[in-house]
């Protein structure tokens, strides 16, 4: 099997046309917790935002190992991108930069959810430098 790289144009293009990924974190008892997530990305990082204190945030604080799956299509034509890595929380200017990119991608929805154009203080921004586990149909 050929090792695929996150920076490949086909993978970057696929993610640019994708709105939701599924994030899996490791729960305190070892069981996975899967959640649908909005995201933004660049050539080497996948970034998500969550309300502080939720189970997925607590899980990442305790164990940063995560997996992420993006999928599209249906019977006869499916594309799946499976990734893994270690999530890292962001702060300061980096947090604000990614928060702004997130707002731009999902506006006008984010301003309603956030109660305005700025990333709220109770949001945690985290990202990973994914390694590709599988890229089917991409």
Q: Evaluate whether residue 87 is within a structural domain.
A: yes
C-alpha dist (Å) from residue 123 to 21, 27, 69, 113: 18, 20, 22, 11
Q: Evaluate whether residue 102 is within a structural domain.
A: no
Q: What is the mean pLDDT of each run of 10 residues along the chain (138 residues)?
A: 89 97 96 97 97 98 98 90 98 96 91 90 98 95
Q: Evaluate whether residue 21 is within a structural domain.
A: yes
Give the three-state DSSP class for 74.
strand
Return the CATH number at 22. Answer: 2.30.110.10
State the total domains in the chain: 1
Could you tell me where the DSSP H helices lie in the chain?
9-16, 55-62, 92-106, 109-114
Q: What is the pLDDT of residue 1?
A: 59
Helix (H) or strand (E) segment spanning residue 25: strand 20-26
Q: Measured between alpha carbons, how far is 10 from 16 in angstroms, rounded to an integer?
A: 10
Q: Evaluate whether residue 115 is within a structural domain.
A: no
Q: Measured between alpha carbons, how far is 69 from 134 in angstroms, rounded to an integer?
A: 9
Q: Is 76 exposed, middle or buried (0-12, 13-18, 19+ CB in 10 A)?
A: exposed
Q: Evaluate whether residue 16 is within a structural domain.
A: yes
- Whole domain around residue 63: which residue ranges? 9-91+121-136
Q: Evaluate whether residue 104 is within a structural domain.
A: no
């Amino acid at each position: 099997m050929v090792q695929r790289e996150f920076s490949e144009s086909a993978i970057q293009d696929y993610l640019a046309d994708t709105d939701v990924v599924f994030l899996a974190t490791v729960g305190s008892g070892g069981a996975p917790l899967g959640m649908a997530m909005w995201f933004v990305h660049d050539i080497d990082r996948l970034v998500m935002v969550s309300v502080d204190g939720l189970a997925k945030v607590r899980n990442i604080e305790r164990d940063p190992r995560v997996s992420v799956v993006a999928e599209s299509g249906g019977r006869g034509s499916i594309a799946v991108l499976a990734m893994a890595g270690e999530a890292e929380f962001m702060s300061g200017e980096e947090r604000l930069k990614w928060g702004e990119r997130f707002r731009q991608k999902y506006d006008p929805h984010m301003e309603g959810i956030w109660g305005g154009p700025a990333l709220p203080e109770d949001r945690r921004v985290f990202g990973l430098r994914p390694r590709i586990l599988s890229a089917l149909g991409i």
